[in-house]
Amino acid sequence: MKNIEQINLGTNGPLVSKLGLGCMRMSSIWGGPTPDETESIATIHAALDNGINFLNTGDFYGAGHNELLVGKAVKGRRNDAFISVKFGAIFHNGQWLGMDLRPISIRNFINYSLTRLGIETIDLYQPSRMDGSVPVEDIIGTVADLIKEGKVRYLGVSEITSKQLRTANSVYPVSALEIGYSLADRQIEGELLPTAKELGIGVVAFANTAEGLLTGEMKAPLAANDYHSHFSRFQGDNLIKNLEKVEVLKALAAEKGVTPTQLAISWVNAQGDHIMPLVSMSKRSRLSENMAAMEMTFSAGEMEKLNTTFASGTILGGTYLQR
């Protein structure tokens, strides 16, 4: 396998891999089973071996399980890994309760994260979203203090508005914006992406397949117990019409001899040198496929077909990205 390209995370940020490894699915999600830990750790090791150094986790993934797992994986390989941690989301019995972004809580969260990860400094630390309960200045100012204390290296933000991004960057330089971005979720192209580019902030783009919609494997109707059924995008006529558009993606993938998932990742990668696709994996078998997606290119005609078919607003219904 070919080592992955590296980019600067923001104008003055650190050098990281152009493809990021999302570790969330290595822990229990929505009450589901926990994947095999040995395979998850092996997947992280394989990613590091191939130059994918950006590892993304959250202190609330699996109630701390994810950080513990990442900590095991990077033990003895700390210098190979760039660790990104999200904080602030509060869960109980697998149910999301809200956010806690108070400065006193952030100072508490960071110490638990450092202990679980078994490291002295988190490379990128970011509130998982802003809910208006605490002023942006207070949240960012607290992380800036943690940077001065040596507990954090760089500031990140996630799921934030353009106005909030400007405010955050005025308090302390933001290195990275983590945000959902895919052919099916392009609303951030209006203001947020241009603002990030203007300010020299790197973009870490997750949900490249729009929660599975763009994999080409989804069929209507979904099973009654499928968690996707909670979101309007995957309900009734919305899902039927959305899957009609996915047929265009599937046809193009077949022409190119690749998978729809690879096309979806490659499209995100092609949106700019400052944009990093963040892809969740828990098995080594997915690594080569996702790395190959980073090498793909599009003709002008292919890109126009995708951009027209999946123009902003053409996918009906929402997901948790609009929560």
Residue 125 annotated as catalytic: no
Q: Which residues contact 277 (CB under 8 A, 6 or more apart)?
A: 18, 19, 20, 205, 208, 265, 268, 269, 293, 294
DSSP state letter for 133 = S
Per residue in 190-216, is it b (16+ CB within 10 Å) or e — as a string?
Answer: eebbebbeebbbbbbbbbbbbbebbbb
Measured CA to CA, the distance from residue 242 to residue 264 in angstroms comes to 15
Given a contact cutoff of 8 angstroms between Cβ atoms, the answer to whether 79 and 45 are in contact is no
Angle at 305 between CA 300 and CA 310, to 5 degrees: 130
User: Which H, E and C letters describe 211-265, residue by residue?
Assistant: CCHHHCCCCCCCCCCCHHHHCHHHCHHHHHHHHHHHHHHHHHHHHHCCCHHHHHH
- 120 burial (CB, 10 Å; 0-12 / 13-18 / 19+) is exposed
Catalytic annotation, pick one of 61, 125, 154, 181 = 61
Given a contact cutoff of 8 angstroms between Cβ atoms, the answer to whether 140 and 172 are in contact is yes
Give the strand pairing for 275-280 and 202-206.
parallel
The set of catalytic residues is 61
